[in-house]
């Protein structure tokens, strides 16, 4: 098969491009700088200079493919400049889906997120859940708007499948999660809040969920391709045990909420993780979903945290010379 992938230079998109090539598929990818995407080119990925924010730049790359994986997204919590949330997540999604419609692509998989549901307040929800209210972050808000756009295209007949990961970890991660892991290994992660919980999945399992959605997913359906429910503090306690380093102290969620208010006037000067938004998104919140539908209909089978996250910690230890 021949596929078009957006976000191929990113964490999930890069692994997806590699897995597709290993399976013998042709892969086209739009990249901002082909010169900086030599690793993809070495895998046999055909590179096109382009970007999701420029619809026409993707036309040649998408023409004649059997399927589209729209993985590209803006993910910055606590960023000073949030304008790319609209440009990439909202407008970029509209651009990709409009082209897919114009070119009559047989099938597409769009990468949404459990974060469109914002804080589930401890409840494990399924694909029928619909959040109404104010989102915690600009990432949540813009991805929720993009999800709405995807459903609008589906209603008009676009053969699109939506997948919704939760927290994604693994080698190659560039998010604040990896920064926290490195800080833990260096003994520089003082505290983490209790109650904060996510569905954790290894990047390889997330990519497998994407491929299964393309192969087996029903057009018009959404699938939670999230992993095991696990509290943030407990995951890092497990990481500390694995690395034989000091675990962070447990902080009350209420304290984090108070801190998020107190730092608001200083947001322009704070590191991203310590801005009001950065603190707010870990202050006892839960992004939780039930992956039963993906397991049942797609054959999705993510590894547990006790296996995948431990492997990731060992990978980071080795990279750090520990």
Strand blocks (E) in 122-204: 160-163, 167-169, 191-193, 197-202
20-60 pLDDT, tens digit per residue, is 999 999 999 999 999 889 999 999 999 999 999 999 999 99
281 in any annotated domain: no
151-178: pLDDT as tens digits = 999 999 999 999 999 999 999 898 889 9
Judged against a pLDDT cut of 90, whether residue 254 lies above it is answered with no
Residue 10 pLDDT greater than 90, yes or no: yes
Q: At what angle do helices 305-319 and 176-185 cross, to 10 degrees?
A: 70
For 159, the domain range is 2-169+200-227+289-303
User: Does 4 score more than 60 pLDDT?
Assistant: yes
Nearest alpha-carbon partner for 210 in 201, 242, 274? 201
CATH of the domain at 210: 3.40.50.720
- How many domains are there within the chain? 1
Which is nearest to 242 in space by CA: 187, 312, 321, 182? 312
Residues 6+ apart with CB under 8 A from 277: 77, 78, 136, 137, 138, 260, 267
* pLDDT (0 to 100) of residue 300: 98
The confidence score (pLDDT) of residue 269 equals: 52
Q: What percent of the chain has pLDDT over 70?
A: 90
Question: CB-based contacts of 101: which residues, under 8 Å, 6+ apart?
Answer: 153, 156, 158
The per-residue pLDDT for 104 is: 98
| 177 part of a folded domain | no
SS (H, E, C) 189-208: CCEEECCCEEEEEEHHHHHH
In a domain, 299, yes or no: yes
**Under a CB-based contact definition with an 8 Å cutoff, are residues 319 and 151 in contact?**
no
Q: Is position 105 within any domain?
A: yes
Query: Does 55 map to a domain?
Result: yes
Confidence of residue 258 (pLDDT cuts 50, 70, 90): low
DSSP classification of residue 10:
S
Q: Name the DSSP letter for residue 125.
A: B
Indicate whether 267 pLDDT > 90: no
Distance between CA atoms of 175 and 34, rounded to whole angstroms?
A: 23
Q: Using one digit for the tens of pLDDT, what is the confidence trace for 173-222?
A: 988 899 999 999 999 988 888 999 999 999 999 999 999 999 999 999 99
The reply to whether 219 falls in a domain is yes
What pLDDT does 257 receive?
A: 66
| Structural domain contains residue 254 | no
How far is residue 289 from each of residues 196, 225, 294, measured CA to CA in Å?
Answer: 14, 9, 11
Q: What is the pLDDT of residue 75?
A: 83
Assess whether pLDDT exceeds 70 at residue 308.
Answer: yes
What SS3 class is residue 66? coil
Is the model more confident about 132 or about 55? Answer: 55
Domain presence at residue 193: no
């Amino acid at each position: 098969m021949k596929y078009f992938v957006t976000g191929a230079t990113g964490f999930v998109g890069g692994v997806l491009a590699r897995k597709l090539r290993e399976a013998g598929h042709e892969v086209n990818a739009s990249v901002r700088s082909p010169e900086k995407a030599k690793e993809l080119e070495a895998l046999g990925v055909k590179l096109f200079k382009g970007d999701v924010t420029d619809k026409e730049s993707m036309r040649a790359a998408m023409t004649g493919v059997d399927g589209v994986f729209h993985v590209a997204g803006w993910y910055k919590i606590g960023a000073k400049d949030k304008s790319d949330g609209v440009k990439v997540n909202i407008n970029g999604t509209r651009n990709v889906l409009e082209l897919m419609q114009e070119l009559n692509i047989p099938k597409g998989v769009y990468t949404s997120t459990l974060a469109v549901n914002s804080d589930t307040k401890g409840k494990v929800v399924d694909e029928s859940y619909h959040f109404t209210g104010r989102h915690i972050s600009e990432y949540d808000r813009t991805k929720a708007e993009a999800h709405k756009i995807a459903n609008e295209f589906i209603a008009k007949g676009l053969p699109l499948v939506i997948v919704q990961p939760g927290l994604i970890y693994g080698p190659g991660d560039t998010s604040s999660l990896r920064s926290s892991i490195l800080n833990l290994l260096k003994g520089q992660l003082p505290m983490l809040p209790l109650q904060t919980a996510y569905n954790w999945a290894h990047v390889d399992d997330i990519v497998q969920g994407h491929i299964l959605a393309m192969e087996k997913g029903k057009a018009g359906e959404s699938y939670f391709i999230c992993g095991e429910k696990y509290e943030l503090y407990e995951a890092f306690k497990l990481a500390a045990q694995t690395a034989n380093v000091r675990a962070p102290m447990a902080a009350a969620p209420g304290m984090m909420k108070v801190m998020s208010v107190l730092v608001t006037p200083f947001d322009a000067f704070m590191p991203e993780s310590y801005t009001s938004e950065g603190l707010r998104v870990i202050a006892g919140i839960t992004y939780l979903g039930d992956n039963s539908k993906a397991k049942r209909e797609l054959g999705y089978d993510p590894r547990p945290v006790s296996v995948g996250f431990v492997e990731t910690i060992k990978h980071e230890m080795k990279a750090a010379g520990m």
